[in-house]
A and B are shown apart, each in its own frame.
Chain A
Amino acid sequence: MTFGQLPYDIAHLLGGAMLLLSFVLLYQRRVQAVINAFAWQGGVLALAAAWQGAMQGAPELYLTAVIAFVAKAVLIPLALRVIVRRMNLHRSVETALGIGASMMAGVAVVALAILVVLPITAGARAIAREDLALALSVVLLGMLMMITRRNAISQVVGLMSLENGLVLAAVGVAGMPLVVELSTAALVLVVFVVAGVFVFQIRERFDSVDTAALESHRGEGAGDGWRGEGASEAPRGGGQP
């Protein structure tokens, strides 16, 4: 199976689409658009998993595809939308790192991923190699998104997108046990719940989901009262002396 054969080309196309959506995620500055792009990425991931299932003759991958679609393309984006609506973040625009700079960094990261993966997997099947390179790129772009954003919701989306890359790598390799995928999916849901709770807590205390607001409350100086005192402590906006 190599270039020019339909199964390979479609798998390649789906992986490439995920990478493209990662770039879209990196490009978007509006929170709603970010959530949309993330939902699209989840959908493409479900398609990729289903296609791999058909190709490898592995029925359990269909289950993975269903889970990915339900969780990542429907439930999580819906929940994120609810959060955004409740917090009235429809119009928020953020500028942590310039678009041009983050695009260039993204391209460099993808080049690095390809440089690393292709020589290592010289003996493996072509499809596994491409898949791994694409998946690693998606993972790295997810991390890049986490560090270029200030908004807590965007950071959560970056983490989810990173996990999408991991699932893409997992479905591309024949013989990955279903248990691993199921547990990964469960893990992601837990992470999402925790992250959502955190976002609400941050918002409640600091009137903003900008994580920079947290930074004045770190450290062990006399000024920080909120560590260990629980929720009854009134939020302090002034920061450390």
Chain B
Amino acid sequence: MLTALSLVIGGLLLLGLAAVPLARRPAGVRVVHGGCVVACLLLVVLAAWALLAGGGGVLALPFGPPWGRALLALDGLSAWFLLLLGVTGAIASLYAMAHPAAQPGAVPPFPLFLAGMAMAVVAADAFTLMFGFELMSLASWALVAADHQQAENRRAARLYLMMAALSAACLVPAFGLLAGHAGGFSFAALRAAPPTGWLAGGVLLLGLLGAGGKAGLAPLHVWLPLAHPAAPSHVSALMSGAMTKVALYVLARLLLDLCGPAQPLWWGVPLLVVGACTAVLGALRANLEDDTKVLLACSTIENVGLIAIGLGLALAFRGADLGPLAALAAGAALLHALNHGVFKTLLFLVAGSVLHSAGSRRIDRLGGLIHAMPVTAGCALVGIAAAASLPPLSGFASEWLLLQALLAGWRTGDIGFQVLAAAGTALAAMAAALAAAAMVRLFGLVFLGRPRTPRGAGAHEVGRLERWALIIPAGLTLLLGLLPGPLLGLAQPALVALLGPAAMAPARGFALLGGNGEVAAWYLPLALLLVLLVAGLLVALAVRARSPLETRRGPVWNCGFINPPDFLPFGDPLSQPTAGGIAQPLRRMLGTSLLGAREAVDMPRPGETRAAGYTASFADPAFGWLVLPAARLRDAVAAQCEKLRDFTIRRCLSLGFGTLLALLALLAWLEAH
């Protein structure tokens, strides 16, 4: 099985090479993406097989770093994330097959991107993991930078590359600390020598910065809202659905698995705090953005925060020796990772279809697309309802589990952690509510109402293949929402890999089980669906019984405005709400303090003939506190280095001579000791 897996990864790498000549003609692009679909489906099969039948040992590849061979293994955790990668990768590749109009430069890195993620997930030694992780980072950078004609895309790609470099600069020392302590790079050797004391603290901090930055945890989330709109739609779907999850996989592998089971309770606290802040910040920004892809990227930040809360709780509960609760929290995190991967892929693909068909990403230029694109709108509704965590869809199941775990936070017995868990519960609930508001705003403005531009009015339904690329993830979202119990049963090996052999998935049959057995809390999605169907039927019957007349379409009430004149065929633009208008209450309530939102009304004085103006803006605090100081530091260092260029020839030679002498002196000093 591992041999087949390594062959699939090798095939993807070869496909990346073959894509260079193939990308020149549409048929070749189709072949490349078709190959990616096949490879991803194979990954799904292998992952499901490993989850059901056990992954089996470690495969040593016949090549590797100079000191050994690259190791691959497929334990429960790897298999779970490989399943996620396969599903989202297959959907995104299918969508890409339907859209061969992409930039030719964006074709070759795509299989490499998939191969890098797969390699990072199935690696069984630190070197292979970092190799895959960096391949993933570089390939996705190439994809973000594919459309580099526009300055904003170049800027996004540059920031993205810097963030990827920061991740590597933190993760490599983290694994280095572990490996130096353990004396080997294989996961088995690392597991055998768990770090303690300051070493463990260093690994925690570096892992959080490195993997968290790649996953999009605050305050290193700044690249997500810039990079996602810059990349082609199927790539942003994959980046959001799979790549952030690979980073979370590295985080879980590093902190829960490799650092050993004996870490104390407070280990979960940083993840819990950072996750809660990330979730609220992302959800709030999602309410204020007016670009569909940026909005979805902010929603990804929120969901990554929720998953991080789950991982942090699992760490804390394990430290407090509460095995069932740790399984509950870890199960919530794993399930939410899968669910979010699928529905966010769907939503990004919908955003891509809307961009392609209606010509814009800006919400204020869309509207009324449900008439022109009914299938897309239906699929979008499924994804949006899942993202808004409405039952019985997939988002609700995992967020319900997460809230159950948070509500059980008082059982740790540590007063500080109890307070934190209570605050985390409030923040997670607030994030879920804000996300629901953002999703309602997105769907309402994009698909309901009237078209806002002529280009938007000319939208058409997507083609057949593209339609399937939307219907399949929508169906999966429904299915995952209805069958969370069996899914968690499937995730049992992953829980064992995270928490030890005693871990039991918090599910019985088709039901999810909250609490640890004493506090009974059940979620039965099938029963809930039945109740909803019956209730809906009853309402429909009651309505029918109360009003036996035929339904009639009346004139639309347009908020008291008069009917638009003939030269405005799309209605008076002022009579429809705008993205900024719907965002205003939340911007005033929360944005002022958290995001530094500002509003200004520019009113002309009596007698002036210019128009009045209204501007509203906000800024992510991470930009002001982190990115701008870092940029200033970079400029200062660069200015210092620039001075070297002005050196005379003799001073340049002296610099080399001095360096040589210093190195020789160091050598002499080392020999003397």
By a beta-carbon cutoff of 8 Å, the part of chain A in contact with chain B is 96, 109, 112-113, 115-116, 119-120, 140, 143-144, 146-147, 150, 211-212, 214-215, 218-219
- B646, A219: Cβ atoms closer than 8 Å: yes
Chain A residue with the shortest CB-CB distance to B650: A147
- B649, A211: Cβ atoms closer than 8 Å: yes
Which chain A residues border B649 with CB–CB below 8 Å? 211, 214-215
Given contacts A143-B657, A144-B657, A147-B657, contact A116 B650 (CB under 8 A): no
A147 to B655, CA, bound (A): 10
Known pairs A150-B650, A212-B650, A219-B646 / 5 extra A-B pairs, C-beta < 8 Å? A96-B650, A116-B671, A119-B668, A147-B654, A211-B648
Which chain A residues border B665 with CB–CB below 8 Å? 112
B479 at the interface (CB under 8 A from A): no
Residues 620 to 673 of chain B near chain A (Cβ within 8 Å) = 645-646, 648-650, 653-654, 657, 660-661, 664-665, 667-668, 671-672
Count chain B residues whose beta carbon lies closer than 8 angstroms to a beta carbon of A. 16
Which chain B residues border A144 with CB–CB below 8 Å? 657
Label chain B's interface by main secondary structure. helix
A81 to B389, CA, bound (A): 89
CB distance from A198 to the nearest CB of B (A): 11
CB distance from A115 to the nearest CB of B (A): 4
Given contacts A215-B649, A218-B646, contact A116 B667 (CB under 8 A): yes
CB distance from A53 to the nearest CB of B (A): 30
Which chain A residues border B672 with CB–CB below 8 Å? 115, 119
Given contacts A119-B671, A119-B672, A120-B671, contact A112 B661 (CB under 8 A): yes
CB distance from B366 to the nearest CB of A (A): 48
A115 to B673, CA, bound (A): 13
- A146, B661: Cβ atoms closer than 8 Å: no
In the A-B complex, the 10 residue pairs with the closest CB atoms: A119-B671, A115-B668, A147-B653, A147-B654, A116-B668, A215-B648, A116-B664, A143-B657, A116-B667, A211-B649
Chain B CB count within 10 A is highest, among A116, A146, A211, for A116
Which chain B residues border A219 with CB–CB below 8 Å? 645-646
- B648, A212: Cβ atoms closer than 8 Å: yes
Chain A residue with the shortest CB-CB distance to B645: A219
Which chain A residues border B653 with CB–CB below 8 Å? 143, 146-147
> 12 interchain pairs (CB within 8 A)?
A96-B650, A112-B661, A115-B668, A116-B667, A116-B668, A119-B668, A119-B671, A120-B671, A147-B653, A147-B654, A147-B657, A218-B646
Chain A residue with the shortest CB-CB distance to B667: A116
Chain A CB count within 10 A is highest, among B650, B660, B671, for B650
**Mask of B585-611 contacts with A, CB within 8 angstroms, 1/0:** 000000000000000000000000000
A218 to B671, CA, bound (A): 42
Which chain B residues border A212 with CB–CB below 8 Å? 648, 650
A123 to B665, CA, bound (A): 21
Which chain B residues border A120 with CB–CB below 8 Å? 667, 671
Which chain B residues border A96 with CB–CB below 8 Å? 650
Chain B residue with the shortest CB-CB distance to A112: B664
Chain A residue with the shortest CB-CB distance to B656: A143
- B648, A143: Cβ atoms closer than 8 Å: no
Which chain B residues border A113 with CB–CB below 8 Å? 664
Chain A residue with the shortest CB-CB distance to B649: A211
Chain A residue with the shortest CB-CB distance to B664: A116
Chain B residue with the shortest CB-CB distance to A218: B646
Which chain A residues border B661 with CB–CB below 8 Å? 109, 112, 140
Which chain A residues border B660 with CB–CB below 8 Å? 140, 143
Which chain B residues border A147 with CB–CB below 8 Å? 650, 653-654, 657
Chain B residue with the shortest CB-CB distance to A148: B650
Chain B residue with the shortest CB-CB distance to A158: B653
Chain B residue with the shortest CB-CB distance to A108: B661
Which chain B residues border A214 with CB–CB below 8 Å? 649
CB distance from A225 to the nearest CB of B (A): 19
Which chain B residues border A116 with CB–CB below 8 Å? 664, 667-668, 671
Which chain B residues border A218 with CB–CB below 8 Å? 646
Which chain A residues border B657 with CB–CB below 8 Å? 143-144, 147
A113 to B667, CA, bound (A): 10
Which chain B residues border A109 with CB–CB below 8 Å? 661
Chain B residue with the shortest CB-CB distance to A144: B657
- A112, B650: Cβ atoms closer than 8 Å: no
A116 to B671, CA, bound (A): 8
